[in-house]
Each structure stands twice: as C-alpha cells, then as structure tokens.
Amino acid sequence: MTGSKTDSIRYRLSRSKDTFEDAEILADKERWNSPINRLYYSAYYAVIAILIKYDLKPTTHNGAKTEFSEQFIKKEILPKEFGKLYSHLFTWRQKGDYDDLYDFKKENVLPYFEPVEKLIELIENKITE
C-alpha cells in the first residue's frame, strides 16, 4: 500500500464507518451472525487507524487487540469499557464465524451497535486531537 500515514488513517476510518453501515444493513435483514462480524471489523478498522497514528503495526488481529489494550486502555487514554467491548467483539466474531451450529440472536446483537459507534467516534476524536 502506498500513500502517507494520514492517507492510511483516513482509509481505515472510512472502512470502519462503511463496515458499520454494512452491519446495520445486515441487521435489518435479521442475519445476526453477519452483523457481529461487521461490528467487529468496524471496530477493528478504527483500532488499526489509531494504532497507525502512533506508529504501532500489529501483524495479527490478536496483536491489534493487545496493542490497543496496552497503549490506550491500560493507560486510560480510552475508557476501560471500550477495551472490554473490543475483546468481546473479537471473541464473538470468532464464535459466529467458526463455531458450528451457533447462531446469534437479535437480543444479543442489537445492544452492540451504540457502543461500537461510540468507540469509532472516540477513536476518531483521539486521532484528530
């Protein structure tokens, strides 16, 4: 990938917002495993954006989760609840994608939309400070 660090950050934030919209579309269709996947990736792209801002370059999803926790949650730059949210989404995304005979239900998925949207907003604000 070519472009500046700023270009990469903008790209990841744009992907985050687009992916969040994808989750909304899938929820409207009541395909509950897919919105969990899209909510996770929406948060993931935002997390990658802030990691890029601070020159952190994890090579795995688990690495991104660890760096985010170490650099932004444990240092209280972002509230602890958003570290828990991201970790929970990470686990649920894997469960929905890889576990056989497991399907999420509406009541499990819908409560995640507002906090994920808030996480994206917080990260975007932190990046532009």
Q: What is the pLDDT of residues 19-66, one digit of tens each?
A: 999 999 999 999 999 999 999 999 999 999 999 999 999 999 999 999
Give the CATH architecture of domain 5-128.
Answer: Up-down Bundle (1.20)
pLDDT band for position 100 (cuts 50, 70, 90): confident
Q: Would you state the structure tokens that stand for residue 34, as one six-digit string?
A: 């897919």
Q: How far apart are CA 68 and CA 57, in angstroms?
A: 11
For residue 2, what pLDDT is reported? 67
CB count in 10 Å sphere of residue 111? 9
Q: Where are the domains of the chain?
A: 5-128
The Cα–Cα gap between 29 and 116 comes to: 19
The 10s digit of each residue's pLDDT in 2-20 is 689 999 999 999 999 999 9
pTM (global) more than 0.85:
yes
